[in-house]
Structure 1
Amino acid sequence: MTVDVILPCLNEEAALGWVLGRMPDGYRAIVVDNGSTDRSALIARELGAEVVHEPVRGFGAACHAGLLAATADLVCFMDADASLEPGQLPRVTAAVLDGRCDLVLGRRIRTAAGSWPWHARLGNAVLAATLRRRTGAPLHDLGPMRAARRAALLDLGLTDRRFGYPLEMVLRAAAAGWRIAETEVDYLPRAGVSKVTGTLRGTLHAVSDMRRVMTGSRPLSHGTRSRGRLRRS
């Protein structure tokens, strides 16, 4: 079966060749250009990806535009900056495909010292701990590589269009009783400078968006069906 892979993109021309060239068989790339001023859209199209243009700036806006453009039953999200290995997407999709889980996130494991600045790791760890307490979902990373069924994601009615989108997805999925799990994936030094984790200011903006989503959501029940950590394949 075909799996659609949604790649939010803002000026990633240096990384797209590597990312798209390593997409596994059966995984179709949807590159969502979120206002790039470089050759990202042209490169993506030349390499065979579907290109969607989302004029409203924001990580969540780009992610949701890709979700609306997707047609496959199963969809994945991942960054387009070469920080994640596309060849590991099957690790994340396996438990959704075989019906064990409804949402699986890739738990990032650093492969090099410079691949994840301390301020980004700290913010992520605090949010993940809060999320575990609030929902019972056994997550240690709000990783950008994730997989779920397209129709079910649309039914969640996600509304955030900034950096709170990934957190809102988990919160709403937990409230709906989804089976949520994580599996380890490699985290690589990205190509170029990150617009988020590459600077303290960017990290603080992302954390602020996620805290806003966390405090704006209603308390969730403890009935979340979780699967914990999946074995790597």
Structure 2
Amino acid sequence: MYKGQSVVAIIPALNEELAIKKVVSQLVALSFDDKQVVDEVIVCDNGSTDSTAQVAAEEGAVVVRQDIPGYGIACLTAMERLPNCDIVLFVDGDDSCFIEQALPMLDGVVNGVDLAIGSRTLGHIEKGALTGPQLFGNWLSSYLITLFWGQEITDLGPFRAMRRQSLMAIEMNDKTFGWTVEMQVKAIICGMQVNEYSVDSKVRIGESKISGTLSGSVKAGIGILSMIGKLYLRKRRIVKHYLSYGISNE
């Protein structure tokens, strides 16, 4: 619970047995005014062949499994298990971020922001934390979003918090690499308040399944750019669905 609002953290994870213990334990231990901030941690084991699920459960996380590979489908699967809550915090399971830096993002949501993005570009990036293709891809995607929709974006960072009601209203669909950009762009299209918050990045534990390989980087890039194109073409449909959900931003 953070300032009267319940918080659930979602972690999509694939073969993160070396890092998941640290990430889950830090989320469970996160406190403000001597009170536990995160009410529940949900880990989606995305087909791991190691002990990711066991370690996460031992640290107190609720674990669900999804054998179909994909960052988006892992997040969607975890969302199916969401209890009634006010804020959903998304965190990667590789220990690449500083968990305590979630507090400013949560503070933003408590104070009216719909989507709070942890921008690594605005923070300190430890040498080796992000690869060249990652840095270029983030720059290009952010530039296109800013160009097409008129809101300055600096990063597609996966460390983010969103009001649960707003998250459900935008009806997330992407099952692979376009998940983060889909969330950001849909929120912008629907007139939601989207703010960025400076977060620092450190070298992850273990090897990335996306940026750690050339094929993974290429697939991620194609997925993100194609999602931007789809959203640009579907703007009216997205707004119509959002209005039918019955939320007003007035």
Taking structure 1 as the reference length, the TM-score comes to 0.90
Structure 2 regions of 5+ residues with no counterpart? Answer: 31-35, 237-250
Deviation string, structure 1 residues 118-177 (Cα, Å, up to 9, x no partner)? 111011110011011111222100000111112221121221100101111111111110
CA distance in 1, matches of 2:102, 2:9: 9
Equivalences for residues 111-126 of structure 1 within 5 A: 111-126=125-140
Structure 1 window deviating more from structure 2 (203-212 vs 32-41): it is 203-212
- Kindly name which structure, 1 or 2, has the bigger radius of gyration based on alpha carbons: 2
User: Is the CA contact 2:12–2:71 (under 8 Å) kept in the aligned structure 1?
Assistant: yes
Equivalent residue, structure 2, for 1:82: 95
Equivalences for residues 35-114 of structure 1 within 5 A: 35-71=47-83, 72-99=85-112, 101-108=113-120, 109-114=123-128
SS of structure 2 residue aligned to 1:187: coil
Q: Is the aligned partner of 1:181 residue 2:195?
A: yes
CA distance in 1, matches of 2:62, 2:18: 18
Q: Percent identity?
A: 34
Equivalences for residues 1-233 of structure 1 within 5 A: 1=1, 2-23=6-27, 24=30, 25-27=36-38, 28-71=40-83, 72-99=85-112, 101-108=113-120, 109-219=123-233, 220=235
Deviation string, structure 1 residues 11-52 (Cα, Å, up to 9, x no partner)? 000001211121112212111101000000000001101111
CA distance in 2, matches of 1:124, 1:200: 16
CA distance in 1, matches of 2:180, 2:169: 15
- What letter is aligned with 1:42? Q
User: Is the CA contact 1:67–1:150 (under 8 Å) kept in the aligned structure 2?
Assistant: no
Deviation string, structure 1 residues 158-212 (Cα, Å, up to 9, x no partner)? 2110010111111111111001110011101000110112223212111100111
CA distance in 2, matches of 1:53, 1:137: 36
Structure holding more strand per residue: 1
Structure 1 window deviating more from structure 2 (113-122 vs 62-71): it is 62-71
CA distance in 1, matches of 2:95, 2:124: 13
Aligned residues: 221
Equivalent residue, structure 2, for 1:230: none
CA distance in 2, matches of 1:85, 1:197: 20
CA distance in 1, matches of 2:63, 2:106: 22
Deviation string, structure 1 residues 94-123 (Cα, Å, up to 9, x no partner)? 111111x11110001344211111111011
CA distance in 2, matches of 1:142, 1:14: 25
CA gap of 1:11–1:216, structure 2 versus 1, over 3 A, is: same
User: Is the CA contact 1:9–1:32 (under 8 Å) kept in the aligned structure 2?
Assistant: yes
Structure 1 window deviating more from structure 2 (138-147 vs 109-118): it is 109-118
User: Is the CA contact 1:138–1:181 (under 8 Å) kept in the aligned structure 2?
Assistant: no
- What letter is aligned with 1:92? M
- What letter is aligned with 1:143? G
Deviation string, structure 1 residues 30-83 (Cα, Å, up to 9, x no partner)? 111010000000000011011111222210001111222122211011110000
> Which stretches of structure 1, 4 residues or longer, exceed 3 Å deviation after superposition?
218-221
